[in-house]
Amino acid sequence: MRSFVSVVLALFAVGAAAQQTVNMPIVIELSGAGAVSGTNFRDGAVLAIDEINAKGGILGRKIVAPQSDTQSNPGISRAQVQKAIDSDPYVILGPVFSGSVKVNMVLAQQAEVPQITGAEAAEITQMGNPYIFRTSFGQQMSMPKIANYIRDGLKAKTVAVLWVNNDFGKGGRDTFTKEMAARGIKVVADVPTESGQVDFAADVVKLKGANADAIFVYTNEEESARFLREARKQGVTKPLIGETTLLGQKVIDMAGDAANGARGHVGLSADAPVPAVLAWKQKFLKRFGYVPDHNGIKGYTGVYAVKYATGKIGKFDRKLLAKTLHGLTITPKQEPGILMETTWDAHGDIDRVSFLAEVVDGKQKIVQTLPKLGK
């Protein structure tokens, strides 16, 4: 009889242990215009979650991460974040598209659920939402860096801007133009393009006509690749400058030789001269069979940030997690999964080292490492 009771008790214990999980839904772009970024982010997060679970989870609890596709559509992302909130999550991972984040971050805020996003539009962290956290630079952080590079590195006096007319492109263009004005550099051509645009011939003609010292290109992945091909075809000789996306691995793969010579600033790079990042890239490649871009790092480090902060608190408390992440600095020594030392400020914005890079022989080559802003 006693053995029977102990077996029953043991079974209960096993059952209780199995129920001890922590819910971290991934709401992300898996189809539509954002699928490239979203899939990278998702795979990065899944890689981190599997590693953490293999080592026993967070505070002994395994992570459960149901995925839902936003179809890159803000209205659907709202429904999916609502669904995630209904399941009583600890944090929400995603989305990447700024428009979607703007729709659903209010819901997460009302439910007091920390949201770890891959979005970069400047205004997301400027709305006073204490539950939103970035995993990469916002445009208000990255544009001053690229502006300094254009002024000091290229010594350009005039610049032409080509941008994609969605909230990501427009936000970047507006911030960039402001930074140029502050440095006395004249914007001589301002060329908006469409999301999903295929033919860039007329735009390249316009840029050539402007004859600026440098051309700044700020579009999503596929458009960047198409633009680079057209610019090569028309023999553009002026330096083509980009911010993260233009130098991303996906763009290089799609643009082929035409990507060579493109340079600029990368906030995050799978080719960063940091051993931990390079080792991570190999791990990712082995698991998923493709070379990740910066969005993969966003998903991966986002999960590890949650793990570290939770370990620091010692319990699962969403409000306390948000509070702890504000002003927190995580070093790779404390948590190897963070890959590079990272600081979150009071708005949920991120600070860490970034890089100047150039595309050489179909590969992104880091030319210089820029220090953290706070240093």
Q: Which residues bind other proteins (CB under 8 A)?
A: 30-31, 67-69, 71, 73-75, 78-79, 82-83, 85-86, 99, 102-103, 106, 123, 165-167, 169-171, 195
Least Å from the CB of residue 31 to other proteins: 6
In terms of CB distance, is 170 or 363 closer to other proteins? 170
In terms of CB distance, is 84 or 270 closer to other proteins? 84
In terms of CB distance, is 174 or 358 closer to other proteins? 174
Least Å from the CB of residue 232 to other proteins: 29
Least Å from the CB of residue 64 to other proteins: 15
Least Å from the CB of residue 331 to other proteins: 36
In terms of CB distance, is 102 or 312 closer to other proteins? 102
Least Å from the CB of residue 123 to other proteins: 7
In terms of CB distance, is 169 or 348 closer to other proteins? 169
Q: 275-284 long-range contacts, Cβ below 8 Å, gap at least 24?
A: 276/332, 276/336, 276/339, 276/340, 277/339, 277/340, 280/339, 283/47, 284/43, 284/44, 284/47
Backbone φ and ψ for 124, nearest 5 degrees, come out as -55, -40
In terms of CB distance, is 103 or 325 closer to other proteins? 103
The C-alpha atoms of residue 284 and residue 300 are separated, in whole angstroms, by 10
In terms of CB distance, is 318 or 372 closer to other proteins? 318
The half-sphere exposure of 142 on its side-chain side, counting CA atoms within 13 A, is 27
Least Å from the CB of residue 109 to other proteins: 12
The C-alpha atoms of residue 307 and residue 293 are separated, in whole angstroms, by 22
Least Å from the CB of residue 287 to other proteins: 17
Least Å from the CB of residue 169 to other proteins: 8
In terms of CB distance, is 74 or 348 closer to other proteins? 74
> Roughly what angle, to the nearest 10 degrees, separates helices 98-110 and 74-86?
30
Burial 233-269 (b: 16+ CB within 10 A, else e): eeebebbbbbbbbbbbbbbbebbeebbbbbbbbbbbb
Least Å from the CB of residue 330 to other proteins: 31
Least Å from the CB of residue 251 to other proteins: 22
In terms of CB distance, is 82 or 158 closer to other proteins? 82
In terms of CB distance, is 75 or 327 closer to other proteins? 75
